């Protein structure tokens, strides 16, 4: 054997003695490989620890080559394991996203279904009420009850208009009816001592996210008050006062200048006068609060209120009011600012129609 034959695993050795030690190292390495799963990450980690801790002794560079080989295999195994774990995580996230999206879709469909059901129920309910309003009162029915408002205010009872007797038999909290021609606004108006109640209840005393159109508890149709304030939700469906903010366009006002508001005791036609945006203010803010203007204490205060609203109005209708005129204020939410309100103010132009 010549010196050039002293080669093991690509390594050349100078002497027969080194060559012999290399063959011994190779035999040890081959045995380790036979007894160790070199594709298994846990086995490679144990082997690597054993090599670092000196469990195996090598006498030539073949030992160094083997340790580097184990480290390289372990690095590759760790990377493959990391990739597998990441793929598992991605798969879990993907499944979670699918589940959440599916759940979200179910919730959205459920919400849309409930929303549509409420809207349909509200539409059907008010169509029924409108028909009931036109239906003649049956002589065989029990006497019309005293309106709840009259009971609350303890004032002298007035004669209820014939067309509202059927509705009053259905709900004693009815106080009137509001209608704007060629719009969806054609609703009964409720009134109770709690301004919160009709935010989420309908005429049938059922929970209804649409709520009802209702008059401020401090307004008095018997006295009557200087200003009737009527509230309604700004529903995206357009129900209630959902389209009231169409009055921000002067052209819309010109097409809809009149509001019919009947109390259960008398009819009334009102002409739109002011249209403005406002908001609900803190109690300690000294500013004109339209929602507190119900009765004017004298001509000077009335004129002051008119001036405030005229300055806030989005456009000049040319309509003005004098002390002694009766007013109607329609109010709904306005989302251009926090606690914003959109307001339409009209004055009564005739007593009966």
How confident is the model at residue 310, as a pLDDT? Answer: 97
Ranges in the chain annotated CATH 2.40.260.10: 148-350
- Which residues are catalytically annotated? 333
Tokens in use for 215? 């008059």
- Alpha-carbon span 19 to 25, nearest angstrom: 10
Q: What is the pTM of this model?
A: 0.64
Q: Dihedral, CA atoms, 309, 310, 315, 320, nearest 10 degrees?
A: 110
Structure-token match 């082997």, residue found = 47
How confident is the model at residue 353, as a pLDDT? Answer: 42
Using the predicted structure, report yes or no on whether residue 141 has a pLDDT greater than 60.
Answer: no
Structure-token match 């195996």, residue found = 56
How confident is the model at residue 107, as a pLDDT? Answer: 74
Question: Considering the chain, what percentage of its residues have pLDDT values greater than 90?
Answer: 52
How confident is the model at residue 54, as a pLDDT? Answer: 87
What pLDDT digit, counting tens, does each position of 238-287 carry? Answer: 999 999 999 999 999 999 999 999 999 999 999 999 999 999 999 999 99
User: What's domain 148-350's architecture?
Assistant: Beta Barrel (2.40)
CA 272-276-280 angle, to 5 degrees, is 125
Q: Give which of 192, 193, 213, 186 is closest to 202, Cα–Cα.
A: 213
Higher per-residue confidence, 336 vs 274: 274
- Contact between 327 and 347 (Cβ < 8 Å): yes
Q: Give the dihedral sign, CA 333/339/345/351.
A: positive
What pLDDT digit, counting tens, does each position of 169-213 carry? Answer: 888 999 999 999 999 999 999 999 999 999 999 988 889 989 999
Q: What ranges in the chain are assigned the alpha helix state H?
A: 16-35, 41-52, 61-134, 148-153, 165-170, 250-255, 299-312
How confident is the model at residue 10, as a pLDDT? Answer: 85
Most confidently modeled range among 89-93, 106-110, 144-148: 89-93
């Amino acid at each position: 054997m010549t010196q050039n034959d002293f080669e093991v695993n690509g390594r050349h050795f100078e002497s027969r003695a080194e060559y012999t030690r290399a063959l011994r190292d190779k035999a040890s390495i081959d045995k380790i490989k036979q007894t160790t799963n070199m594709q298994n990450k846990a086995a490679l980690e144990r082997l690597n620890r054993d090599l670092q801790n000196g469990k195996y002794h090598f006498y030539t560079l073949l030992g160094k080559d083997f340790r580097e080989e184990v480290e390289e295999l372990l690095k590759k195994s760790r990377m493959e394991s990391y990739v597998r774990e990441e793929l598992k995580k991605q798969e879990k996230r993907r499944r979670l996203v699918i589940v959440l999206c599916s759940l979200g879709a179910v919730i959205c469909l459920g919400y849309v279904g409930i929303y549509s059901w409420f809207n349909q129920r509200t539409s059907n309910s008010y169509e029924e009420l409108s028909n009931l309003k036109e239906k003649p009162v049956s002589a065989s029915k029990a006497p019309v009850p005293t309106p709840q408002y009259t009971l609350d205010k303890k004032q002298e009872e007035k004669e209820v208009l014939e067309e509202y007797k059927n509705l009053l038999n259905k709900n004693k909290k009815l106080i009137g009816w509001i209608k704007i021609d060629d719009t969806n606004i054609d609703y009964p108006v409720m009134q109770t001592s709690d301004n919160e109640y009709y935010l989420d209840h309908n005429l049938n005393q059922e929970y209804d996210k649409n709520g009802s159109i209702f008059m401020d508890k401090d307004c008095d149709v018997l006295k009557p008050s200087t200003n009737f304030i009527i509230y309604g939700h700004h529903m995206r469906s357009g129900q209630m006062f959902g389209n009231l903010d169409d009055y921000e366009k002067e052209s819309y006002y010109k097409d809809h200048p009149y509001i019919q508001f009947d109390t259960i005791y008398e009819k009334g036609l009102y002409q739109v006068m002011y249209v403005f945006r406002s908001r609900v203010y803190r109690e300690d803010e000294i500013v004109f609060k339209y929602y507190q203007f119900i009765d004017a204490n004298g001509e000077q205060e009335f004129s002051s209120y008119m001036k405030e609203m005229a300055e806030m109005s989005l456009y000049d209708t040319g309509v003005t009011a004098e002390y002694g005129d009766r007013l109607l204020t329609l109010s709904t939410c306005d989302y251009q600012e926090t606690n914003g309100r959109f307001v339409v103010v009209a004055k009564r132009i005739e007593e009966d129609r």
